[in-house]
Structure 1
Amino acid sequence: MPNKDLWRLGAHDLSQLTRSGAVSPTEAVTAALARMDAVNPDLNAVVDDLRDAALARAEALDSQSPRQRGPLHGVPVTIKINIDQTGHATSNGVLALRDLIAPDDAPVVQNLERAGAVVIGRTNTPEFSFRADTDNPLHGRTHNPWGRHISAGGSSGGGGVAVMAGMGALAHGNDIGGSLRFPAAANGAVTVKPGFGRVPAWNPSQTAERGLMAQLMSVQGLMARQAADLHLSMPAMIAPDPRDPFHAPVPWQGAPAAGPVRVAFTRNTHGYDLHPEVEAALLDARDALTDAGYILEEVEPPDVFEIGRAGYRTLMGEIKTLMKPDIDAMGSETIRSLFQTYFAEFPPFEGDELLKMYAKRSHFARQWAMFIERYPLVLTPFQPQPFFAPDRDLEGVAGAHDVLGCAVYSYAMNFMGLPAACVPARLAQLPGGPQPINIQIVAQRWREDMAVDAAIAIEDRIGAMAPHLWAHMDRTH
């Protein structure tokens, strides 16, 4: 492969070349930066260009001996702008925070760099990282490379666009209700939302601790173009850091299954219309797993609608008290208005109700723990419909309902702290153009590796979305 095309390689394939010495980190990073120059002006995914530091770091990595080279040696990555990186603004898409310069690196930045990764840029997010779409007054809108008719997703929308368009082999993101999985679904990337306690988290620029629900529901992760890239990169992400006192140093790879893995399969969208293309994606994923030796059984897990809605209303109750004052003081009219819509769609639990729901979280998690003891994986829809258009969430309560209200399979898993992979299982030909359709695979606590294994099995049958996207981009630009 010519060096100029190295940006096409996923992290797994690229690292094999850099670690063997066949390709230098400088060559890998230079190719990613050239791709960024070619496509980012149109897409606005990377909003803080770190090329000078990236090239200097790559040059330093070039001289490392083979035994010094980490698993991500010279692999270009991006970091979301709501995470601390020394000397850069942790703006979170908020104008008032554009000069909040990080005094040190967050654990995920340190862990990626210790593994040999090279950060080439920082990616866009909506204000306060609290939309499933990516736009803000500070950096503007991030566009989906499949076309302007599809939202880029959020809140890690810049990362999802960057990795799928070829600007880095891995993209960091985080997820409190779907912020890794929404952009993965929008762009056709693959990700695994880790469970609670899996990846150490802390921003040194913080002046106060986050609320309890934010601590329990928010996780750090990566988006990739190929599922195998997660097996390569997530072990580095989960390295311990004492600044996160609740991080659990559990190995990435768990014990192998004694026999074929049982998978619960559901098409239940809890009263929301199931689009034919989403159903087709679920059936394709089911067939791929069956062919790979999994035992699929169509069976209903504990009520995801009740769990998801209860979880998001609990989160909204906490946000109304702890976060809304900052939104009112520093947010744009758009985000202030949107939170009023959120509060209408998800009436916040308050007072005694909020305390009781904190307690009931254990009840919900126990129900799923017992179910998942029999079915270690659960294949579910991610959303009942193909991905929505930009700004659909700003179209009143109906718009917020189409974007977040129906996404109960997403935030239910955050509320219970369960890991969930999101992988494309179909390329739908829709009136606006081709569009990836992602499904979700939920796993037992600490078994992200099993969810990724299942994602690989689906991808082996369906194929990765990136080549289709790049061909589409070449045709339409």
Structure 2
Amino acid sequence: MTKMDLWKLTARETADRTLAGDVSVEAVTQAAIDRMDAVNPALNAVVESLADEALERARALDRQRAAGGRLGPLFGVPVTIKVNVDQKGHATTNGVEALRNLIAPANAPVVDNLLNAGAVVIGRTNTPEFSFRADTDNPLYGRTHNPWGDHISAGGSSGGAAAAVMAGIGALGHGNDIGGSVRFPAAANGAVSIKPGLGRVPAWNPSQSAERGMLAQSMSVQGLIARAAEDLNFAMPSMAAPDPRDPFHVPLPWRGAPLDAPIKVGFTKETFEFDLHPEVSRALDIARDALVDAGYEVVEVDPPLLREAALTGYRALMGEMQALMGEDLRKYGSPTLNAIFDEYYAQFPPYEGADLLRALAERSRFAREWSLFLEGYPLVLTPFLPQPFFRPDRDAEGAEGVREALGSALWSYSMNFLGLPAVCVPARLAELSDGPVPINVQIVARRWREDLAIDAAAAIEARVGRLCDSLWARMG
């Protein structure tokens, strides 16, 4: 591998080489920046290049290594940060024109944790307005394009992060997920991502002027998007380091105790009122067979109360959004975003007043039933979406567009309401009439056992291969 090809390394491979002194952090960082300069103009995934400060940090890390200083586990790994999270001295725009000048006074915990581990931030990535679409486009920065082609949305809301990682811009992309925002773009781009469980990764934005609503606090988590499953288990312990600014963070060890083999995996193809596309069915079969061959015991199951939990959770979230953010969305959101929210409210009628309080109380019932279910099945293999990923702006095409892009994603936002960890991993590359489309599946885990879900994703990846290799061959 030449110095020009260093951008192809995984996070673990990069850290292994920089820690061993085989390659300098500056060389790795320059390679990532060169790749960004080469492919980002066509993708618009990174909306703020941090090339100069990244190279300055890289040289400082190289000097630190030469002096025998402390080297973190992510030493020299190039990463990106989503523009809805505070990074000192940079605007936390959240894709909104009115927030263009909201300069962060300090880093969010997740940024500090990555920097303390030795990572190098090379850029900040795009998100839709208010980070509340399954597609990534906004009036401030424009559209992020999927590196597989313009026939597929880049997903959202962490669309910039996923498109960047898969195109080779940084080994890791930070994202966050309140209803699917690290899993939608992973599915769109063929990346692998982790939505940690509630309490795993500390979160807070020093720039915020008020606390978020309780559902936003309990459904939103900070996660990662990567090209290789092993990078999630490699990097997430650093992301999950404690920070006193999040008083509800739970500082448990990342890896739990080994389970007796074979680990039982519940398996379902249930998509409720939505048709299961043959390509998604094939991807689920491939994932199931990969797990069986890897030594897991896979059993068909009927998970409890999934649809009810999903719809209750999303209607409650819409109620909280309408009450606490409705005025800002109307005032600062584009006509496109407001039309989409009108359709969200139509398809997910917001709970209000006592009904909202009852919905919040019901969350414990749903979570309890799933906790009991996961005692028997520590992992559950599920669809993520019932159909291949949709085209750009599908969610702006009225009722049917919102129904396909978001309404069908019951397996996504249910996991946020339940607070459970979920990994999204590619299991197939479908060659459809418009072009290639990655097909991802989801692995849900017991609370605090993200590591088990990632291990299972790695077993699927071992069968399927990393989709980035096919993508890079196509990109040239």
**Normalised by the shorter chain, which TM-score bucket?**
over 0.9
Q: What is the aligned counterpart of 2:227 among 210, 225, 228? A: 225
1:142 to 141, 144, 148: 144
Q: CA deviation at 1:258?
A: 2.1
Q: Deviations over 1:175-213 (max 9, x none)?
A: 000000000000000011000000000000000000010
Cα distance in 1 for partners of 2:472, 2:118 equals 27
Question: What is residue 47 of structure 1 aligned with on the other side?
Answer: 47
Contact kept in structure 1, 2:45 and 2:125, CA below 8 Å: yes
Stretches of structure 2 lacking an aligned partner (at least 5 in a row): none
Counterparts of residues 453-464 of structure 1 (less than 5 Å): 453-464=455-466
Separation in structure 2 between the aligned mates of residue 190 and residue 391 of structure 1, nearest angstrom = 23
CA deviation string 1:19-73 (max 9, x = no partner): 1000110000000000001000000000001001000000001122366221111
1:177 equivalent among 168, 174, 179: 179
Partner residue of 1:377? 379
- Give the aligned partner of residue 253 of structure 1: 255
Q: Aligned equivalents of 1:288 and 1:304: distance in 2?
A: 25
Q: Which residue number corresponds to residue 19 of structure 1?
A: 19
Q: Considering only aligned residues, what root-mean-square deviation do their CA atoms show, in Å?
A: 0.7
Task: Classify the secondary structure of the residue corresponding to 1:68.
Answer: coil
Comparing 81-90 and 328-337, the one that deviates more: 328-337
Aligned counterparts of 1:473 and 1:270: Cα–Cα separation in 2: 37
In the other structure, the counterpart of 1:132 is 134
What is the alpha-carbon distance in structure 2 between the residues aligned to residue 64 and residue 144 of structure 1? 37
Distance in 1 of aligned mates of 2:437 and 2:23: 33
Decide whether the 8 Å contact of 2:424 with 2:441 is kept in 1.
yes
Structure 1 position 435, deviation (Å): 1.2
Report the Cα distance in structure 1 between the residues aligned to 2:208 and 2:59, rounded to whole angstroms.
32
Q: Distance in 2 between matches of 1:277 and 1:23?
A: 42
Q: Which residue of 1 aligns with 2:218?
A: 216
- For 2:186 and 2:23, the matched residues in 1 are separated by 28
| Alignment correspondent of 1:35 | 35
Distance 1:190 1:19 in 2: 25
Q: Percent identity?
A: 65
Q: Which residue of 1 aligns with 2:306?
A: 304
Instruction: Give the corresponding residue for 1:406.
Output: 408
What residue is the counterpart of 1:164 in the other structure? Answer: 166
Question: What is the one-letter code of the residue matched to 1:472?
Answer: R
Report how far residue 259 of structure 1 moved. 2.2
| Cα shift at 1:307 | 1.0
Letter in 2 for 1:404: L
Q: Is the 8 A contact 2:198 2:420 kept in 1?
A: yes
Distance 2:425 2:256 in 1: 21
1:27-426 alignment to 2 at 5 Å? 27-65=27-65, 68-426=70-428
Query: Which 4+ stretches in 1 moved above 4 angstroms?
Result: none
AA at the equivalent of 2:30: T
Structure 1 residue matching 2:81: 3-state secondary structure? strand
CA shift, 1:303, in A, is: 2.6
Task: State the AA in 2 paired with 1:204.
Answer: P
Q: Distance in 2 between matches of 1:67 and 1:264?
A: 47
SS in 1 for 2:64: coil
- Deviation for aligned residue 1:145: 0.3
Q: CA deviation at 1:337?
A: 1.5
TM-score, normalised with respect to structure 2: 0.99
Question: Aligned AA for 1:165?
Answer: A
CA distance in 1, matches of 2:175, 2:194: 11
Residue 338 (structure 1) shift: 1.2
The total of aligned residue pairs comes to 474
- Deviations along 1:120-176, whole A, 9 cap, x unmatched? 000000000000000000000000000001000000000000000000000000000
- The answer on whether the counterparts of 2:261 and 2:296 sit within 8 Å (CA) in structure 1 is no
Alpha carbons 2:10, 2:231 under 8 Å: kept = yes
For residue 85 of structure 2, what is the amino acid of its counterpart? Answer: I
Which ranges of structure 1 fall in alignment gaps of 5 or more residues? Answer: none
Separation in structure 2 between the aligned mates of residue 432 and residue 7 of structure 1, nearest angstrom: 29
CA–CA distance in 2 between the matches of 1:245 and 1:150? 39
In structure 2, distance between residues paired with 1:278 and 1:303 = 22
Structure 2 Cα separation of the partners of residues 17 and 62 of structure 1: 12
- Once residues 340 and 364 of structure 1 are traced to their aligned partners in structure 2, the CA distance between those partners, rounded to angstroms, is 28
Q: Deviations over 1:426-468 (max 9, x none)?
A: 1111111111100000000000000000000100111011000
